[in-house]
Amino acid sequence: MSYFDVASSAPLHPVARQALHASLDEGWADPARLYREGRRARILLDAAREATAEALGCRPDELVFTASGTRAVHTGIAGALAGRHRVGRHLIVSAVEHSSVLHSAEAHRHDGGTVSEVPVLRTGAVSPDAYADALRPDTALACLQSANHEVGTRQPVAAVAEACRAAGVPLLVDAAQSLAWGPVEGGWSLLTGSAHKWGGPAGVGVLAVRKGVRYAPQGPADERESGRSPGFENIPAVVAAAASLRAVRAEAAAESVRLRELTDRIRARVPELVPDVEVVGDPVTRLPHLLTFSCLYVDGETLLHELDRAGFSVSSGSSCTSSTLTPSHVLKAMGVLSEGNVRVSLPLGTTAEEVDRFLAVLPRAVAAVREKLGAPAGTAAVAVSPSGAPDVRVVDALGKRCPIPVIELAKVITEVPLGGTVRVLSDDEAARLDIPAWCEMRGQEYVGEEPAGRGTAYLVRRVAS
């Protein structure tokens, strides 16, 4: 039984557990009170703030604790936008930010603000030049994650921060995925994070706002946490968060080397062991513990169930695993295959044996799903087209969900002659991403899409045999 989804939430680090237990007796009182229980609580809170600020690379009075990473992002973006509303109401985000950032951007847009979404390269990284181009005189705030939560690609934060600094625009860095591995390099203005991602407890986020950054707290006033995070302080959890951050940082150097070897092994072996796989994300500039791949002709949800039954907990950005039936916005922005998507994020201490067992289990699991779906068998399945075959074929995949439209396409492509066309009718949102991705993987030509009576028609020309 291996939990390989630490990017969603990490199990509580033993140090966090100890610190939590120890501080339950000392940290429950109101730190604003002057009696002994309050003073003890205050001491714990101050010490936790100092330790966490040191780990983030900021001053204690620049740091407040929030109730979650999501709250830190919502709060930080709203406060920074309001603090600079006289400059303008333009917000920049990357296309692959966490949903908390994108939802804040959506709320800002709804509120009359403007938002630019900087696209990413196929690796998932923004180009610093493209980001710099988005900066405008009315830009109030720019946001960039330190590393992507779905594919692990590290963003060029230092370069983007430098461009923002030159333009006089504050940069908010969502560092939720990377704080376990080290502080964020470069001249960020605001920084957010989430303790349960680094092995701390749920219920603790961090929001750092550099001195000198214009900031106006939004919502009803509250005197706690410098007026930036309302509600009674959750001191035992904050203490546990601080202690575990220190603990994981102490292990970070050694574990990052070890886990990078393990994730490199998975990245290298999966395409050898499983046919028709695309490993996505930057192969080098990435988080050490996280990797993502997509399997052609595979239903992500079914694959996750197969892997769960085999003892592996992983997650997926496939549309069939989301409540909205749309593929992950990250994979979409990268333009990579989303069907049969699997994200593996290894906790500290993951053993090579676990990884080897995963590599042993995965091919069978993928094959089982493909067999159920009647997928084309293997990459060698491309037959010579029958002579006299029609040069346009229509695949009606209306009402069928990912990965069925791509499976039907793959079956029919061999039945048109070279130069012939397949027209796939589909009303599944994932097809828009996965049909071009399939073409790229298969060396076929993606001609484009056009509206159809129902859904959309995707046109593919057979150019490879």
**Sign of the alpha-carbon dihedral angle for 306, 309, 311, 316:** positive
Please state the closest distance from residue 377 (CB atom) to a second copy, in A.
28
Please state the closest distance from residue 119 (CB atom) to a second copy, in A.
22
Our answer to whether residue 320 is catalytic in this structure is yes
Q: How far apart are CA 145 and CA 127, in angstroms?
A: 13
Q: Is residue 201 near a second copy by the rule CB under 8 A?
A: yes
Cβ atoms of 16 and 201 closer than 8 Å = yes
Phi, psi of 366 (to 5 degrees): -65, -45
Strand-pair partners of 290: 345
Of 173 and 397, the one with the shorter C-beta distance to a second copy is 173
Strand-pair partners of 93: 117
By CB under 8 A, what part of segment 130-159 binds a second copy?
none
- The active-site residue out of 164, 320, 402, 439 is 320
Collapse the DSSP code of 141 into the 3-class scheme (helix H, G, I; strand E, B; otherwise coil) and give the result: strand
By CB under 8 A, what part of segment 257-286 binds a second copy?
none
Take residue 359 and report the two structure tokens written for it.
């590599």
Of 20 and 362, the one with the shorter C-beta distance to a second copy is 20
Q: Is residue 1 near a second copy by the rule CB under 8 A?
A: yes
What single letter denotes the amino acid at residue 219? G
Q: Is residue 380 near a second copy by the rule CB under 8 A?
A: no
CA dihedral of residues 278, 282, 288, 293 (deg, nearest 10): -10
Q: Using CB under 8 A, which of the segments 150-158, 219-227, 280-288, 412-420 binds a second copy? A: 219-227
**The one among 18, 22, 37, 285 contacting a second copy by CB under 8 A:** 37
Helix or strand (DSSP H, E) at 413: helix 404-413
Q: Is residue 36 near a second copy by the rule CB under 8 A?
A: yes
Phi, psi of 206 (to 5 degrees): -125, 140
Strand-pair partners of 457: 425, 450
Q: What is the DSSP string of 294-353?
A: EETT--HHHHHHHHHHTTEE-B---GGGSTTS---HHHHHHT---TTEEEEEPPTT--HH
Of 12 and 144, the one with the shorter C-beta distance to a second copy is 12
Of 266 and 439, the one with the shorter C-beta distance to a second copy is 266
> How long, in residues, is the chain?
465
Cβ atoms of 266 and 358 closer than 8 Å = yes
CA atoms within 13 A on the CB side of 414: 12
By CB under 8 A, what part of segment 157-196 binds a second copy?
194, 196
Please state the closest distance from residue 403 (CB atom) to a second copy, in A.
18
Q: Using CB under 8 A, which of the segments 17-25, 127-135, 183-191, 377-385 binds a second copy? A: 17-25
β-strands 205-209, 63-66 pairing: antiparallel
**Which residues in 185-224 are b (16+ Cβ under 10 Å) and which e?**
ebbbbbbbbbbbbbbbbbbbbbbbbbeebbbebeeeeeeb
Nearest by Cα to 149 from 96, 112, 216, 201: 96
**The one among 97, 233, 282, 408 contacting a second copy by CB under 8 A:** 233
Nearest by Cα to 428 from 335, 339, 329: 339
Of 201 and 420, the one with the shorter C-beta distance to a second copy is 201
CA dihedral of residues 129, 133, 139, 142 (deg, nearest 10): -30
By CB under 8 A, what part of segment 97-126 binds a second copy?
99-100, 103-104, 106-107
Please state the closest distance from residue 183 (CB atom) to a second copy, in A.
22
Q: Is residue 236 near a second copy by the rule CB under 8 A?
A: yes
**The one among 18, 22, 29, 382 contacting a second copy by CB under 8 A:** 29
Of 212 and 220, the one with the shorter C-beta distance to a second copy is 220
Take residue 287 and report the two structure tokens written for it.
């988080």
By CB under 8 A, what part of segment 57-86 binds a second copy?
67-71, 74, 78
Q: Using CB under 8 A, which of the segments 226-234, 365-373, 424-432, 453-461 binds a second copy? A: 226-234
**The one among 220, 388, 451, 453 contacting a second copy by CB under 8 A:** 220
By CB under 8 A, what part of segment 304-343 binds a second copy?
304-305, 307-308, 312-315, 321, 323
Of 197 and 267, the one with the shorter C-beta distance to a second copy is 197
Cβ atoms of 281 and 317 closer than 8 Å = no
* Count of residues near a second copy by CB under 8 A: 65
Cite the active site residues: 320
Site residues, a second copy (CB under 8 A): 1, 3, 5, 8-12, 17, 20-21, 24-25, 28-30, 33-38, 67-71, 74, 78, 99-100, 103-104, 106-107, 194, 196, 201-203, 205, 219-223, 230-237, 301, 304-305, 307-308, 312-315, 321, 323
